[in-house]
Every structure is written in structure tokens, then in C-alpha cells.
Structure 1
Amino acid sequence: MTTAALANLPQPVYNSSEPYGGDVTQVDVNAQYVGFEYHYTYLVFCGFIVWLIIPGIGLLYGGLARRKSALACLFQSLMVGSAVTVQWMFWGYSLAYSRTAGPFIGNLANFGMIGVGVAPSPGSAVIPEIVFCLYQMLFCACTVQIVVGGAFERGRIIPSLVFGVLWATIVYCPIACWTWNANGWLYNLPSLDFAGGGPVHISSGWSALAYAFVLGKRKHTGEKSHGKAHNTSLVFLGTVLIWFGWFGFNGGSALNATVRAMYAAFNTNTAASTGVLGWVLVDYFKHGKKFSVVGACEGAIAGLVGITPAAGYVSVWCAAVIGFVTAIGCALLQNINEWIHIDEGLDVFKLHGVGGMIGSFLTGIFATSKISLLDGSSDYPGGIDGNGIQVGKQFAEITAISAYSFLVSCALLYLMKWIPGLHLRVSEEAELKGLDFDQFFDEQIGDWGMFHELSNRTDGRAMSLTSPGTPPVKEVSEIEVGAESEDSIKKA
């Protein structure tokens, strides 16, 4: 996300009298980018693959959820992407990236995409602003999708979407302005955040924790499969899409197609790979020399999170260390939900919050000018270059973003609880049946007939909740349903 001027080449010049980069009826607005087309072509491609992270998160969450609430995770991924697109076009982009922003938040100078055209972007002189706007919008959408994971299996869908849009406005956009806008206070400190350790991961991790805290714990009566992914294949597929999309997430954040961007892409794959190795190593010794596909996938996510703030600042061997250390640190916090007594079932805080903090801290240690200067102009030394104060600046970023994200998210959620029609949590009956039965019509994940039968059974049992003197309701687990379905097939 750093300003990516190529020092030894002529640059397109932003003309404030032509906010769209020129009058298309009078001049060829593409002429100002002649010789630089490969930069924005590369960034557009990166943006396209970043989009894959959105359904990837939906598949990952859907696989980790219990089957009865998995469809909601897929649905929310598309809804979040669509809602954030509208928010970004109207006011989100302007609040984060307007050229006349203050140190803490932008203004509405670009409300409704006013002035967002083919002029050189505020992030890079070789990228048209419309391309820059698209790329940053996808970052915001991915982040909001991570945050709504805090509503795991008991949050109502419409309030979660309303919260997502409000959260993007009052949490993500200000933090993005702090970190990446040329007027932002963290940008000028400077803290080093190449692709979103703070605005994306630390903020989403703490905010998802706030969401789970305000909602309260799930009801687990009789649930034998609690804590286990219902579909490991979905988890694997979602992780693969996220890993692939992350090449664009980090590789494009140089905002040019220089060698620095190529290093960022290499570092991304390196950290994800060592993250897998680190997490599997912990699982292997912790669980009697046995393996876990879900654990390997979580290790990849942890490695990707850890390298995000560092990708364009560190050498490939330091990237390997960052991915390995981040994954081991997150894996050792397997019981963190029990320690803090908050039911955050998708481990968003553990992977993104803790992983983002570890990655940001290690960025201050391992950042080196030998890598950042590969774009021709960005000189950002860290502790390894003798600039030890950078570690303190990274700590300032971590502290400010963590506190702001958690406290503002809690305040927003508590406020929404008192607004008619926006109560956050489904009823106990709906939670027992599952979000998919309660929130969707005629659609389920898996065999429809089996779940139609389950719906009839749980409907009857849920009715007993209203009858005085009846014994507690026993929730039917997916393991029991699967066993009964197998018995039915054998009988047939």
C-alpha cells in the first residue's frame, strides 16, 4: 500500500483542475499512461484474484460450521461483497482515501465516486484512480467478511449485514485512513503495514471477538459434533481459494509491477507454507503423532496473516520465519476461547487478531531497505537494519487499532441491540434448528431429504420448549443424523 513512484522514470501528473484525469471528449486520457500500462494491468489482475478470497472465506466458514448453519456462511459471503460495494462507492472510499483527509478520517470529497476517474491515484502515480478504488474496495469486502464470522451460528443475517456496513464506515475506513492515506497519522509515524496487518487482520480479529462477546455463547445441548468441522473438503477448498487470492492481496499491494511486488508474492507463498509446517508440527506432538487437515489449513491462514504487513519489507528467509512463528503462536492458543470465556467458534481472533499482531510486531524487527527499495523509491528500514525504534512504532499501531476496533465494535453492537428489528441473535428455537432452517427457504447443504426429516423432528422437539413440565430439549447432532440415514439406506 505504499506510494510507488518509480524514481528514475517520468510520472503521470495529477491535475487538480481535471479531477477525472482529463476531458475525454477533448483528449485521449490513456496517453498519460503510455509505457506504464503493465502496472495497472497487473493491479487489475491482482484485484480479480483478491475477489476469490470472499467466496473462499464463505467456504472456509461453511466447512467449519455445523451443517445446519453452513449455508448462512456461503450466503453472507456474497451479501457482504455486494453490500460493501455500494458502501464503498458512496462514502467508504472517500472516508479512507480522499486527498483532503485529516490524520484520522477522510471527508466526503469523493462521495458517490465524484472525481474518481482516470487521474493518477492517491496511492500510486502509475495507477488510474478507478483501478485503485476497485482494488481497495475488495480489501474492505474481505475484511468485513472476516468480521461477520463473529456471529457464528447464532447471529441473524440482516443485522449482521447492517453491522458490516456500519463497521466498514466507522472502523475500517478510519483505520485505513490512518495507515495508508498520505495524511494519516500512522502513515506519517510511520508504522509499516504493507498489505493490511492492522486495517484488515488486527481490526477484524478484535471486532469479531467483540461480536461474539456481545452475542453471548451458543447453546450446545446434546451437540456431539461441537468444535469439529462438518465438511473438511469445504475447509480445504476455501483455504485454497484464499491462498490463491492472497497472491493478489499481498503481491498487488506494492501498487506497481516492480521487483518488490514479485518479492511480496514470493514471501506470501513462503510464509503460508511454513505456516502449514508450524501448525502441523504442533498438532503432531499435541495429538499423539496424528495429523489434521483443518489444522494444516489453519496454519496456512496463520502464515498468510502473519506475512501480510511484512510482505514488501522483508527477505524471503525472514518471511519463512514470520509464517512459522505466527502459526506456532496461534496453534498454541487452541484453548483461548475457554481462557477468555468468549464463544468465538471460527477462531477469527486467534488467527487474524493474534496472527496480525504477531506479524506486525515481527515486521518492525525484520523490515529491511534492501527489499523495500526494490520499487526504486521506498526506503523503510527496521530493527534488522539498526532502526530499533520501528518496533515501538509497530507496537503503537497494534495498540491503537486493537483498542479502537474492539471498543467501537462493542459500542455499535450494543446500540444495535436496542434498535427495533435489529436484535442481533436468533431465538433459541432457531439456533437449535440451525440458521439454514430458520433463515432460508427450501435450501440446505447436503442431502435435502435427510434434512427435511431432521427439520420435522426438531420442529416437534422445539415445540416442547413452550410446554411446561417437559424435560430439556436434546439437540440432534449431525453424527446421529448421519448414522440414522445410513441405517435407513441399509433397510431400503
Structure 2
Amino acid sequence: MYNHKHALWPQTYDNASVSFILLCSACVFFMIPGLGFLYSGLARRKSALALIWVVLMATVVGMIQWYFWGYSLAFSLSAPDNKFIGNLDSFGFRNVYGTKMTTASDGSYPELAFAIFQMMFLCVTLSIVAGATAERGRLLPHMLFLFFFATAVYCPITYWIWAPGGWCYRWGVLDWAGGGPVEIVSAVAGFVYSYFLGRRKENLLINFRPHNVSMVTLGTGILWFGWLLFNGGTSLAPNLRSVYAFMNTNLSAAMGGIVWCLIDFRLERKWSTVGLCSGLICGLVAATPSSGCIPLYGSIVQGVVAGVVCNFATKIKYYLKVDDALDLLAEHGIAGVIGLLFNAIFGADWVIGLDGTTYHHGGWISHNWKQIYKQIAYIGAVAGYCAACTAVLCIVIDKIPGLQLRVDEEAERNGLDEDQIGEFAYDYVEVRRDYYQWGVDNDYYWDHRNDENEDEEDDDEEVDESTTSNTYTPKSTDEDDDDSTTIESDTASSPESFTPHHSHRHHHNHSHSRSHSRAHSHHHSYHHTKQSSRTSNEMPDSTSMEVPNSNIISHSNRKSNEILQDIHPSESADLANIHTSDPTENAQEIELQEV
């Protein structure tokens, strides 16, 4: 008979520690959709959904890699003499499930809980790197890149700083929650990946604005929420050091947001929401390596420095001619470096010891002058190793047939949502795509429209010579409701109604010269009709006015209908409202053009 007692796990754990770790893991995971919203809002609408997809898929890839061998390579407990990377003894989470581990506060938790928490760090890192594909990167090759990147770059660097056998850990480098393996690694990898992708094809990319600032704000708020336990949960126990890290994170973010916003206001004289969000993120990133190591006043100074330096660091990509679409280098890399350097300057031994067990000499304020070169060496090693491995992976994957990193020019023009996803974040983007597939091209229309304006002017001159002015006497108020055509004739009585109304174009990237030619066409036609009316020998009195001959109006309408038929005959009825409008609107538009 089977003895059920043998199925009971003999170990017991501290419930508070286990609950704390799982709660922090869930909050860190919540940062991932926040990144998706942030990236989607910063990009243009034609690639909005693709960025959300690539962030979520990067998380999936990270979880699979972490389960198979990622955790074993990054945190092997059976390889204490390895200084560079772990072994595969924990492949597939073998012997990981219930191994009892203790916190700095003498709490206990299963090793599986620790593995879950660290898995979320990997997922966040890969999600940040995924932003490098913005608007021009193919998604399948990038997923393959992320899998091998996690193995070759993230796991070794994580082992360096957090595993007991890692060379940085033994050397005494201070990195609380991942300034190296999370922030610098993701920024350098994203920047190098952007270099190999090349610049986007459109000109004047500097003038493009985020398509949805509300999503940027939402994503930043979610990130801030998750970041509090990203940093606060690194202690793995609800102790005083985790509380201190929580507060340091808030102070650094707040000062970073204020300073960035003030710098933007100095230039634009406007309060920028995107600038505020960018400053907040820089402050959060800077707090990642330092929030558990420096005093509170150090976070105030750190936030100010991060806001100023990272704001100006956004110009680096222009000097290096790398299309870092989401400013990964400035907002994650530079801010991460600032946080690590602040550990060398403001690192305090008493802050590091707030968990009750950890001892470190701290930085300059604790008279540990040697800490600065350790931090600098660590920054250089992480950035250099990451850049080299990323470049090799990009070169190799891009050479494999069918795995080119970048989409073609037509796919880039249509957007990644259409080319890579097949779905759209906004319905009207799909409608606009169908609009072009029908053959309705705004540029084609305006080219023909300008030619037609010249023909209409010649025809109007001929008609003016062969027709006489009609005299119109308004009806009494009793008859206004009975004859709508009379009201329309009265509305069309102004000479401005000779010029048919032009619809406004819907896309922001059309040239100014074409708008100018359209305005010139209005202006020229207006003066032509004014001269025609001045040739009349008699001025109209108060009870009569000169109106254009109906043949002229019908002639203009006929020309507009011909343009519609030339563009796409089957859709002319649906698009007729583009050219047909109230003549009073024509008059108002012409008056504005003349002013």
C-alpha cells in the first residue's frame, strides 16, 4: 500500500518571504506591457501594434530560454569556482524546485521563487532590446537573436555580478538591481542592433512626433509602479533596505522628470508630457543600480544629473548617425552608467548594511576611494562584451537566408503592422491602406487638380465673354421654406464660388510646396473672378446682385467628377464628398487664403 507521507515535502519556508518574492515578481512582470505601451505610443501608428507584439514575444522567448538553461548558466550553485559563467547542472530547472534558500533577514524561500524573480529581470531586459526593431526590423530574426543574446550575453554578465563565484561579485562591484545586466546591456545591444538595421528611409525623422502621448503616459506610469518593486524586491525580503530602495527610486525618478521637463521648457516654452515621461524613466534607470546603496539625498542629486545628462545624450545618435528610434542608449545606457558611478561616490556602508547582514566598504562618502575604478572597469567590461557579442550575432543571423534583420523598403513604407503582423492597432489605418489599394492617391489627385484649375480658368474666360449676368431678386421670408434651391442660389451668389472646394489632405508628411501651389491656385482664381466682375458696367443695387451663370458651376462640378472617374471609377460615388461642399465654405477658405 502506498504511503502518502512520502509525497509530503519536508521543507518549510517563511511565508512572508515567499509572498514578498512572488508579489515582486508579478509587479516586475507588469512592467512588460508598460514597455509595450510606451514603445507603441512613441512610434508612428503604422507600426504601433508591432512594437507591442515584439515586447510580449520577447518575454515569451526569455521565459523559455530561462527554463532550459538560462537560470543554470546565470546562477549555478554547483560551480562556485567559475568566475565567468555557470554550468548546466540545473538544466530544465532540475533540482531547483524546493531547495531551501535564506534571505539576509534570516527568512527562507524555495529556490524556485528566486528563479522566478530573476526570470522577470531577463524578460524586462529582452523587452527593452526589442524596441530596437521600431518601424523597420523583421520580427522572426529578432526573436532568434534574443534567444541567443540571452544565452551569450545576459547570462554571463548576470553571473559576473550576482552569482557568488562571479569575478565582479568577488571584486566588490556595487550594482544593486541591474545597472549592468539590465540597463547597460539592453541599451548597448539595442544601439548596436539599430546600427546594423540602418536608418529609416523617411527624411526629416527628427520632426516626427509620438503618435499617442496618452499611451506613452500610461506606459510610463505602469513602468514606475513595477520599478518600485523591481528595485525594492531585490533584497528578497521585506526589510529596511528594501524600504530604503523603494524611497530612493521615487526620489530619483521625481527629480529626473522635473529637470528634463524644465530643460524642454527652456527650449520650447511649453510643458512637454513626453519630456516628463523621459525624465522619469531616466531617474528610474539611474536608481536601478544605486537605490540600495546610496542615501536619500544622493538620489536627489542623482536625479538632477540623470535628467540633465540624459537629455543632452539624446543627441549622441545624430553624431554617430545611428537611428536609435526610442533613445535606448540615452535613457537606459547613460542613465545606468550614472547610477553605477553614483555608487562609487555616494555609496554608504550603513545603507548597504540596512538588511542586517551585508557588509561593504561603500564609496567615497565612506572613504573608500578605490571603488570608483572598480565601477568604471565594470562598466567598460559590460559595455564592451555586450557590443562585441551583439555585433557578431547580428552579422551571423543577417547572413542566413530568410533571416535578414530588416524589412524591405515597401514594407517599411506600409508599416510593420501590415507587413509583419497583419493586424492594426487602429481601424482607420486599415481603412487608409484599403483607400490606397483602391488606387486613390492624394498626390495623383492634386497633380491632376492643379492641371484642371488652369483649364477651368481658360473655360471660365470663354464663358464670361458669351454669357450675360443674371439678376436675382430675393424672395420674401414667407417663401424661404418653400424653395430650397433659391437659398442655394443666394449662397452661391458671391464671385468666390467660381472656385470649387478642395478637400484637406490627411497625412502629415505631404510637402509644403504642394500646399503652396494649392493656395496659389485659389488665390489666382479669386483675382480672376474679381476682375471679371469689375468689367460689368452697372453695379448691383440693394435688391439685386450678380451671380455666376449656372453653366459655369455645372462645368466645374463636371470636371471634379471626371477627376474622380480617372482615379477610380467604382469608388467615385463614395468619394464624391471630397469635392462637393457648401459654397459658403469655399468663400471662407478663399478669404483666408487671400489674407
* TM bucket, shorter chain: 0.7 to 0.9
The answer on whether the counterparts of 2:55 and 2:130 sit within 8 Å (CA) in structure 1 is no
Identity in percent: 38
Q: Distance in 1 between matches of 2:338 and 2:132?
A: 21
1:71/1:488 CA distance change after superposition, 3 Å = farther
Q: Distance in 1 between matches of 2:217 and 2:579?
A: 28
The answer on whether the counterparts of 2:55 and 2:131 sit within 8 Å (CA) in structure 1 is no
Match of 2:508, SS state, is: helix
Match of 2:313, SS state, is: coil
Q: Which of 345, 368, 375 matches 1:365?
A: 345
Q: Distance in 1 between matches of 2:76 and 2:93?
A: 11
1:417/1:123 CA distance change after superposition, 3 Å = farther
The answer on whether the counterparts of 2:188 and 2:333 sit within 8 Å (CA) in structure 1 is yes
Which residue does 2:433 correspond to in 1?
454
Which residue does 2:91 correspond to in 1?
111
The answer on whether the counterparts of 2:100 and 2:109 sit within 8 Å (CA) in structure 1 is yes
Which residue does 2:215 correspond to in 1?
234
Q: Distance in 1 between matches of 2:579 and 2:19?
A: 54
- Asked which structure has the greater CA Rg, the reply is 2
Cα deviation code 1:214-260 (max 9, x no counterpart) = 11111114x77853111000100000010000011100001211111
2:201 maps to a residue whose letter is K
The answer on whether the counterparts of 2:103 and 2:237 sit within 8 Å (CA) in structure 1 is no
Q: Which of 217, 228, 239 matches 1:258?
A: 239
The answer on whether the counterparts of 2:313 and 2:334 sit within 8 Å (CA) in structure 1 is no
Aligned pairs (5 A) from 1:17-96: 25=6, 28-31=9-12, 33=13, 36-96=14-74
- 2:347 corresponds to 1:318: no
Q: How many residues align?
A: 448
The answer on whether the counterparts of 1:220 and 1:226 sit within 8 Å (CA) in structure 2 is no
- 2:139 corresponds to 1:161: no
Which residue does 2:261 correspond to in 1?
280
Q: 1:291, CA displacement in angstroms?
A: 1.4
- 2:227 corresponds to 1:246: yes
Match of 1:332, SS state, is: helix
The answer on whether the counterparts of 1:121 and 1:127 sit within 8 Å (CA) in structure 2 is yes
Match of 2:413, SS state, is: helix
Aligned pairs (5 A) from 1:1-20: none
1:434/1:458 CA distance change after superposition, 3 Å = farther
1:450/1:216 CA distance change after superposition, 3 Å = closer
Q: 1:460, CA displacement in angstroms?
A: 5.9
4+ long deviations beyond 3 Å: 26-30, 121-125, 223-227, 458-462, 487-492
Cα deviation code 1:160-196 (max 9, x no counterpart) = 1111111111000100000100000011111100000
Q: 1:148, CA displacement in angstroms?
A: 1.6
- 2:420 corresponds to 1:439: yes
Which residue does 1:144 correspond to in 2?
126
The answer on whether the counterparts of 2:67 and 2:93 sit within 8 Å (CA) in structure 1 is yes
2:412 maps to a residue whose letter is E
Q: Distance in 1 between matches of 2:580 and 2:174?
A: 61
1:459/1:258 CA distance change after superposition, 3 Å = farther
Q: 1:459, CA displacement in angstroms?
A: 8.8
2:311 maps to a residue whose letter is A
The answer on whether the counterparts of 1:150 and 1:211 sit within 8 Å (CA) in structure 2 is yes
Q: 1:490, CA displacement in angstroms?
A: 11
Cα deviation code 1:61-90 (max 9, x no counterpart) = 000011101110111122111111111000
The answer on whether the counterparts of 1:416 and 1:424 sit within 8 Å (CA) in structure 2 is yes
Q: Distance in 2 between matches of 1:127 and 1:87?
A: 23
Structure 2 residues without counterparts, runs of 5 or longer: 444-504, 516-574, 583-595
The answer on whether the counterparts of 2:11 and 2:100 sit within 8 Å (CA) in structure 1 is no
Compare 401-410 and 277-286 and name the one that shifted more: 277-286
The answer on whether the counterparts of 1:224 and 1:479 sit within 8 Å (CA) in structure 2 is no
The answer on whether the counterparts of 1:306 and 1:356 sit within 8 Å (CA) in structure 2 is yes
Q: Which has the higher contact order (CA 8 A, sep 6+)?
A: 1
Which residue does 2:116 correspond to in 1?
134
Q: Distance in 2 between matches of 1:414 and 1:237?
A: 36
Q: Distance in 1 between matches of 2:428 and 2:266?
A: 41
1:341 maps to a residue whose letter is K
1:237/1:229 CA distance change after superposition, 3 Å = same
Alpha-carbon RMSD across the aligned residues, in angstroms, is 2.6
Cα deviation code 1:385-438 (max 9, x no counterpart) = 000111111111100001011111011101101112211000100000000011
Match of 1:127, SS state, is: strand
1:297 maps to a residue whose letter is C
Match of 1:25, SS state, is: helix
Q: 1:30, CA displacement in angstroms?
A: 4.3
Q: Which of 131, 146, 169 matches 1:187?
A: 169
Which residue does 1:418 correspond to in 2?
399
Which residue does 1:6 correspond to in 2?
none
Match of 1:173, SS state, is: helix
Match of 2:6, SS state, is: coil
Q: 1:120, CA displacement in angstroms?
A: 2.5
Aligned pairs (5 A) from 1:173-184: 173-184=155-166
Which residue does 2:495 correspond to in 1?
none
1:450/1:227 CA distance change after superposition, 3 Å = closer
Q: 1:95, CA displacement in angstroms?
A: 0.6
- 2:179 corresponds to 1:201: no
The answer on whether the counterparts of 1:126 and 1:256 sit within 8 Å (CA) in structure 2 is no
Q: 1:118, CA displacement in angstroms?
A: 1.6
Which residue does 2:100 correspond to in 1?
120
Q: Distance in 1 between matches of 2:439 and 2:344?
A: 58
Which residue does 1:393 correspond to in 2?
374
Which residue does 1:428 correspond to in 2?
409
1:457 maps to a residue whose letter is Y
Q: Distance in 2 between matches of 1:104 and 1:455?
A: 54
1:490/1:169 CA distance change after superposition, 3 Å = farther
Which residue does 2:547 correspond to in 1?
none
1:410/1:491 CA distance change after superposition, 3 Å = farther
1:258/1:224 CA distance change after superposition, 3 Å = closer
1:307/1:61 CA distance change after superposition, 3 Å = same
